[in-house]
A and B are shown apart, each in its own frame.
Chain A
Amino acid sequence: MIEKTLKGKPAYWIWLAFLGMFMAIGAACYIRQYNFGLGMTGMSRDVSWGLYISQFTFLVGVAAGGVMLVLPYYIHNYKEFGRITILGEFLAISAIVMCMLFIMADLGQPMRALNVILHPTPNSMLFYDMCVLLGYLFLNILCGWVILTAERKQVKPPKWIYFFVYLSIPFAVSIHTVTAMLYCGLPGRHFWLSAIIAPRFLASAFAAGPALIILCCIILKRVAGFDAGKKAMNKIVTIIIYAALLNMFFVGLEFFVGYYSNIPGHKFALEYLFFGIEHHGHVYNNLVPFMWAFVILAFGAIGLLASPLAKLKDNDFFLGLGCAMLFLAFWLDKGIGFVLGGFVPNPLHEIVEYVPTANELAITAGVWATGFFVLTLLYKIAIGVEHEIE
Chain B
Amino acid sequence: MNKQRRKFLKIAGVSALAGIGAPALIKLSSSSAVASSGGQEAAAGHGAATAAAGHGAAVEAPQGVRLGMVIDMRKMAEVPEQLDNAIAACISAHNIPEFPDKKNEIKWLWKAPFENVFLDHSSYHSSTRVANTPFPALCNHCDDPPCVRACPTKATFKLAKNGVVAMDFHRCIGCRFCMAACPYGARSFNWQDPRPYIKKYNADFPSRMMGVVEKCNFCGERLALGQEPACVEACKGTGAITFGDLNDPQSEVRQVLDNEFTIQRKTNLGTKPSVFYIV
A187 close to B (CB within 8 Å): yes
A239 close to B (CB within 8 Å): no
A77 close to B (CB within 8 Å): no
**Which residues on B sit within 8 Å (CB–CB) of A112?**
153, 171-174
Q: Encode contact with A along B144-184: 1 for CB under 8 Å, 0 otherwise.
A: 00101111111100000000000000011111110111111
Q: How far is the CB of B25 from chain A (nearest CB, A)?
A: 9
- Whether the pair B151, A188 counts as a contact (CB closer than 8 A) is no
Q: How far is the CB of A33 from chain B (nearest CB, A)?
A: 10
Q: Is the interface of B mostly helix, strand, loop or mixed?
A: loop
**Which residues on A sit within 8 Å (CB–CB) of B191?**
37-39, 41, 43-44
A222 close to B (CB within 8 Å): no
- Complex partner residue of A123 from B36, B104, B105, B137, CB under 8 angstroms: B36
CA distance A1 to B212 in the complex (A): 43
- Whether the pair A108, B189 counts as a contact (CB closer than 8 A) is yes
Count A/B pairs, Cβ under 8 Å.
158
CA distance A36 to B209 in the complex (A): 11
CA distance A330 to B175 in the complex (A): 25
Q: List the 8 closest A-B pairs by CB distance, nearest first.
A: A108-B174, A188-B183, A108-B211, A39-B191, A39-B192, A347-B185, A126-B152, A37-B210
A117 close to B (CB within 8 Å): yes
A73 close to B (CB within 8 Å): no
B226 close to A (CB within 8 Å): no
For A347, give the chain B residue with the smallest CB separation: B185
A170 close to B (CB within 8 Å): no
CA distance A346 to B270 in the complex (A): 19
CA distance A49 to B105 in the complex (A): 16
CA distance A243 to B164 in the complex (A): 47
- Complex partner residue of B175 from A45, A106, A346, A349, CB under 8 angstroms: A106
- Whether the pair B266, A188 counts as a contact (CB closer than 8 A) is yes
Q: Is the interface of A mostly helix, strand, loop or mixed?
A: loop
Can you report 26 residue pairs joining A to B where beta carbons are below 8 Å apart? A38-B174, A38-B211, A44-B103, A45-B103, A45-B104, A45-B179, A48-B179, A49-B176, A108-B174, A108-B190, A109-B211, A109-B212, A112-B153, A112-B172, A113-B173, A115-B152, A117-B23, A120-B28, A121-B36, A123-B148, A124-B149, A130-B152, A186-B150, A187-B181, A188-B182, A349-B116
B37 close to A (CB within 8 Å): yes
Told that A48-B179, A112-B153 touch, could you supply 9 new A-B pairs with CB distance under 8 A? A41-B191, A45-B189, A48-B180, A107-B173, A113-B173, A115-B171, A119-B171, A121-B152, A126-B152
Q: How far is the CB of A343 from chain B (nearest CB, A)?
A: 8
The answer to whether residues A39 and B104 also contact, given A108-B190, A120-B28, A347-B182 and a CB cut-off of 8 A, is: yes
B271 close to A (CB within 8 Å): yes
Q: Considering the complex, which residues of chain A in the window 123-182 have a beta carbon less than 8 Å from any beta carbon of chain B?
A: 123-127, 130, 182
Q: Encode contact with A along B195-226: 1 for CB under 8 Å, 0 otherwise.
A: 00000000000000111110000000000000
Q: How far is the CB of A182 from chain B (nearest CB, A)?
A: 7
Q: How far is the CB of B32 from chain A (nearest CB, A)?
A: 10
**Which residues on A sit within 8 Å (CB–CB) of B115?**
349
- The winner among B105, B112, B175, B188 for most chain A CB atoms within 10 A is B175
B24 close to A (CB within 8 Å): yes
- Whether the pair B27, A119 counts as a contact (CB closer than 8 A) is yes
Size class of the contact patch on chain B? 35 or more
- Whether the pair B150, A38 counts as a contact (CB closer than 8 A) is no
Q: Encode contact with A along B9-38: 1 for CB under 8 Å, 0 otherwise.
A: 000000000000001100110000100110
B260 close to A (CB within 8 Å): no
B102 close to A (CB within 8 Å): yes
A352 close to B (CB within 8 Å): yes
For B120, give the chain A residue with the smallest CB separation: A265
The answer to whether residues A115 and B179 also contact, given A37-B192, A39-B104, A120-B28 and a CB cut-off of 8 A, is: no
- Whether the pair A189, B180 counts as a contact (CB closer than 8 A) is yes
**Which residues on A sit within 8 Å (CB–CB) of B211?**
37-38, 107-109
CA distance A113 to B173 in the complex (A): 6
- Complex partner residue of A120 from B33, B182, B185, CB under 8 angstroms: B33
CA distance A106 to B28 in the complex (A): 26
Q: Encode contact with A along B256-278: 1 for CB under 8 Å, 0 otherwise.
A: 00000000001001110000000
CA distance A130 to B151 in the complex (A): 13
CA distance A186 to B37 in the complex (A): 16
A308 close to B (CB within 8 Å): no
Q: How far is the CB of B100 from chain A (nearest CB, A)?
A: 13
CA distance A109 to B189 in the complex (A): 11
- The winner among B36, B148, B174 for most chain A CB atoms within 10 A is B174
B193 close to A (CB within 8 Å): yes
CA distance A115 to B24 in the complex (A): 10
- Complex partner residue of B173 from A48, A109, A350, A352, CB under 8 angstroms: A109
Q: How far is the CB of B214 from chain A (nearest CB, A)?
A: 11
A2 close to B (CB within 8 Å): no
Q: How far is the CB of A55 from chain B (nearest CB, A)?
A: 15
